[in-house]
Amino acid sequence: MRGLERQVGRRRFWLALALMLMLQALLAVALFFLQPDSRPAAVFTAYRYWLFSAWMLLSAALVIVWLVLDRLLFVPLAAVTRGAETMAGPYPGHLLEVRRGHWLGDLPRAVTGLGSALEAARDGRDEAFAGGDPTDHKMALERLLNHLPAGIIVADGEGRILLYNEAARHVLRDQPALGLGREVAEVLAERPLRSALLRRRRGRGPPDQSTGTSFVCATADASRLLQCRLILLDEGEGARYVVTLEDRGMPTPERMGHERRMREAVDALRAPLAGLCAASTAAEAAGDEPTAEARFRHIVNEEAVRLVQRFKVLAGEAEALLAADWRLADVHSGDLVAGVLAQEPDDLPKVTMGDEGEWLRGEGYLLERLLANLLRRLRAELKVAQVRVDAALYGPRVYLDLCWLGRAVPPAQLAGWLESPVEDTGGNTHLGEILERHDAALWSRIHPRRPQEAMLRLPLPAAERDRSTVSLPPRPAFYDFRIGERVATASEEAGQSLSDLDCVVFDTETTGLEPSQGDEIVSIGAIRVTGGRPIHGEVFDTLVNPGRPIPEASRRFHGIDDEHVRDAPDITTTLRRFRAFVGDAVLVAHSAAFDMRFLELKERRSGVRFDRPVLDTLLLSMLVYDHSGDHSLEAIAGRLGVPVTGRHTALGDAVTTAEIFVRLLPLLRGRGIRRLEQADAACRRLAAYRMQQRAF
Amino acid sequence: MAARVLIVDHQRNLAEALAYLLRRAGYTVRVAANGADALAAAAAESPDVVLLETSLPDLDGYTLYERLRGEGAGHCGIVVLTANQREAERDKALALGADGYLVKPFDPADLIDRVRVLAAART
């Protein structure tokens, strides 16, 4: 709040100075026209002239001195003070925003030196910590949690989520309410969970406590069934508990349809088969009755035709079912190659990875065998010494290219390879069969961009992973065991410490700047901030179909065009999901009024109300950095050492804003702004002050 | 007197072949292609053995089964012929009092054996 007072103070000073000068001018004019009788007119005129000139000079000198002092001393001093606060707080590497020609002497250099020394000291401390046991153990635990294939949620006695791992996030990827401090019942159906808890607490589970209680539970929106297990961490009514989650591939509608049609197709064979058996037996028995025998032979033929028709249906369903569910899993191309090299390096060419690889969907072991087989044949039959493996994503497929210097594999030779059996695959599996089971093909040609190279191209199904447009820094696990201590009721919220608040920092991309003139949202990105840190695994990122064309200017700004949003959900659906993601969190945005205006204008149509308190990082930055007029996202990010990624994507800007927000918190504390109500009040006062300024 | 067998099945070819085989084995056979015909035939001739397909065009097989038991075929042996091989269906049929459960396709000789045992117990 001191920042705002300082700004108001400066403004008052300039007003007072202007008033004083006006008064002086008035006085001078009054004196000028005054005609005392006692002195000769000429003397008086000269006296008035000199007096007036002296006044004018004095006033001008006063203004100039003040301007010089302000520019060369006061403003640089304010910049050094803000900078020193930033260095002592979130970012020791802060660059002082001091213009050349200031009168502060070596002070800025000394402060910058102090910042550098502080940064080095902090780095040293972090390194020392990193080498120590506790951090090691913590990181090892985080890695372990994230490599567990099962989803894990830890909740306190009230059912609030204290921890969840990457697998839980994947299993519950369609539940926007998943987040630290949120209720487990917001992501899992409450009744089965409560019943499992009761059974566990009453000791009705199996005798071995460590195995917990197994139960099947639907997601909160009842879209999928999960296999769960519940283990109590403590004793008594308020005991914390762990729920493990596995998406056991519970029947999807598609899969259930396959199964039903398969059953029907099998059952449909039974009737003609029964008729066939009976008619054939009867024909044999009717050897002494030619008419009856001929009749039953006719029936045999009729039933055989029906059988063939129904068999075709069955065969089609069986094929579809096999292709749909064939132990397929997400596997990384790099892991496939590493798996091949780990087992049989002797008779293979030298293999390198041409890129970082891609995630694909397949049966890992069979794909390894297939790759090993191809590599071995390249070495043995084409004398290839070195192969580079490239992987590129093209729509729903990953192209796995084996590239080498030399000629392509002739089609006849390749056809021979496809018919050859693959060793160690159980039974007589052919290369071609492995390809068929992955709905893949294999061909060889000259490399399209490197004519001296040949390649074998193997298109495989891409993994069904969410691909975020912004690469987020990896965050091993998502946990906060202090949630129980921080949770506040609505009345307590205003008095809650800012760094304890559960916030959702968001940004929107739009078709234009005028929501009241029909501009619409085309993308919403958000990230949760809990306990004063952004939780990179808890993000909301979606395109929105605006229901109108996106103007060229906006398209150039954010890169989203009509084609991108054609299949995206409409604003009502998106706002409902976003509201569920926000829950009870406080909203934070940069220049929040703009984004909130878009949300508010949709309130009536969507029925979704965003009634949570809103904080604006632009106003918060003005409170902290009162010496500067530049409060753009880039400028603040630069001051606070926040790397800017994915600028002008909703999620990218939300992440940058979140990093800025958490770094502003300690600086706000230094200004006496510690609680939500104080931040809210300061933002309101500053907004009102800006409105007044604009009115001038 | 020859035992009477009622075949209730809408699958014409199967019913015809079974009827021929059973007649040759010495039974008096009547064929009904739906539930209504089956009830009428059972009331008229009180069969000793009923071969009953559970999925009929006009009546649920188990409904027909209960009504047969109530109307003139109370004492008869009933063998269920079905394309449904689920264990639960078999349990249900036997629990409701069926004397046999044959999943299609079956060996006609097996069926005639069962008919013979059931008919012998009732004549």
Query: Which residue of chain B comes nearest to A301, CA vs CA?
Result: B13
pLDDT given at position A249: 55
Q: What percent of chain A has pLDDT over 90?
A: 15
Partner-chain residue, chosen from A271, A285, A295, that has the shortest CB–CB distance to B24:
A285
**Given a cut of 50, is residue A330 above it in pLDDT?**
yes
For residue A130, name the pLDDT band (cuts at 50, 70, 90).
low
Written as one string, the DSSP assignment of A250-314 is PPPHHHHHHHHHHHHHHHHHHHHHHHHHHHHHHHHHGGG-HHHHHHHHHHHHHHHHHHHHHHHHH
CA B112/CA B103 separation, integer angstroms:
14
Nearest-Cα distance to chain B for A315, in Å, is: 19
Which positions in chain B touch A285 (Cβ < 8 Å)? 20-21, 24
**Contacting residues of B for A278, CB less than 8 Å apart:** 13-14, 17-18, 21, 108
| Sequence letter at residue A325 | D
Distance CA B27, CA A9 (A): 116
Give the pLDDT score at A466: 42
End-to-end CA distance of chain A: 23
Of B17, B83, B84, nearest to A278 by CB-CB distance is B17
Q: Looking at residue A620, what is its pLDDT?
A: 92
- Please state whether the peptide bond connecting residue B105 to the residue before it is cis, i.e. omega within 30 degrees of 0: yes
pLDDT tens readout for residues A617-648:
999 998 888 878 888 888 999 889 888 876 77
| Residue A426 neighbours by CB under 8 Å, 6+ apart | none
Contacts of A292 in chain B (CB under 8 A): 20
Question: CB distance B21–A292 less than 8 Å?
Answer: no
Mutate to test the interface with A, among B13, B24, B56, B101 (most CBs of A within 10 A): B13
Instruction: For chain B, positions 1-20, list CB contacts with chain A under 8 A.
Output: 11, 13-14, 16-18, 20
What is the pLDDT, as a whole number, of residue A137? 64
Mean pLDDT of B106-120: 90
Nearest to A539 by CA among A657, A628, A637, A620: A657
**pLDDT in the model for residue A476:** 40
Tell me the average pLDDT across A397-421.
Answer: 87
Alpha carbon of B119: minimum distance to chain A alpha carbons (Å): 20
Residues of A tagged active-site: 648
Q: Do B83 and A275 touch (CB under 8 A)?
A: no
Q: Which of A270, A273, A296 sits opposite B17 (nearest CB)?
A: A296
How far is residue A259's CA from residue A94's CA, in Å, rounded to a whole number?
Answer: 63
Distances (CA, A) of A688 to A538, A612, A694: 34, 20, 10
- In angstroms, what separates the C-alpha of B20 from chain A's closest C-alpha? 7
pLDDT in tens, B56-94: 888 877 788 878 877 656 788 899 998 877 676 777 788
- Which of B21, B83, B103 is opposite residue A278, by nearest beta carbon? B21
The confidence score (pLDDT) of residue A472 equals 41
pLDDT digits (tens, 9 = 90+) for A100-124: 888 888 888 888 888 888 888 888 7
Q: Hey, of B29, B54, B56, B104, which one would you mutate to test binding to chain A, going by the most A CBs within 10 A of its CB?
A: B104
Structure tokens at A61: 């000198």
Mean pLDDT is lowest, of A222-226, A305-309, B71-75, for B71-75
Residue A504 has pLDDT above 90, yes or no: yes
The answer to whether the Cβ–Cβ distance between A271 and B104 falls below 8 Å is: yes
**pLDDT of A468 strictly over 70:** no
> Of A263, A277, A298, which to mutate for an interface test with B (greatest number of B Cβ within 10 Å)?
A277
Quick one: pLDDT at residue A199?
A: 72
**Closest Cα in chain B to A268:** B83
Residues belonging to chain A:
696
Which residues 233-292 of chain A have a CB within 8 Å of chain B?
Answer: 267-268, 270-271, 273-279, 281-282, 285-286, 292
Please compute, for residue B63, the number of CA atoms within 13 A of its CA located in the half-sphere on the CB side.
9
| CB A435 within 8 Å of CB A369 | no
The answer to whether residues B49 and B113 touch, using CB atoms and an 8 Å cutoff, is no
The nearest alpha carbon in chain A to B23 belongs to A282
pLDDT for A506 equals: 95
Judge: A270–B81 Cβ closer than 8 Å, yes or no: no
Quote the DSSP letter at residue B96: T
| Gap between the Cα atoms of A620 and A641, Å rounded | 17
In 3-state terms, chain B is what percent helix, strand and coil (to 5)? Answer: 45, 20, 30
Tokens (6 digits) for A20: 């004083």
Q: Which of residues 74-113 of B touch A (CB under 8 A)?
A: 81, 83-85, 103-109
* Contact by Cβ (8 Å): A193, A184: yes
- Can you give the pLDDT at residue A206? 46
Determine contact, residues A164/A154, Cβ cutoff 8 Å. yes
Give chain B positions within 8 Å (CB) of A296: 17, 20
Least confident of A44-48, A535-539, A654-658, A680-684: A44-48
Q: Is the pLDDT of residue A408 over 70?
A: yes
Residue A279: closest C-alpha in chain B: B17
Residue B30: pLDDT band (50, 70, 90) is very high
**How far is residue A591 CA from its own chain's centroid?**
21
| Residues of chain A contacting residue B108, judged by C-beta atoms under 8 Å apart | 277-278, 281-282
Task: Report B:48-67 residues touching A (Cβ under 8 A).
Answer: none
By three-state DSSP, how is residue A214 classified? strand
Query: How confident is the prediction for chain A on average, in pLDDT?
Result: 81
Whether pLDDT at A388 is above 90:
yes
Contact B11 A271 (CB under 8 A): yes
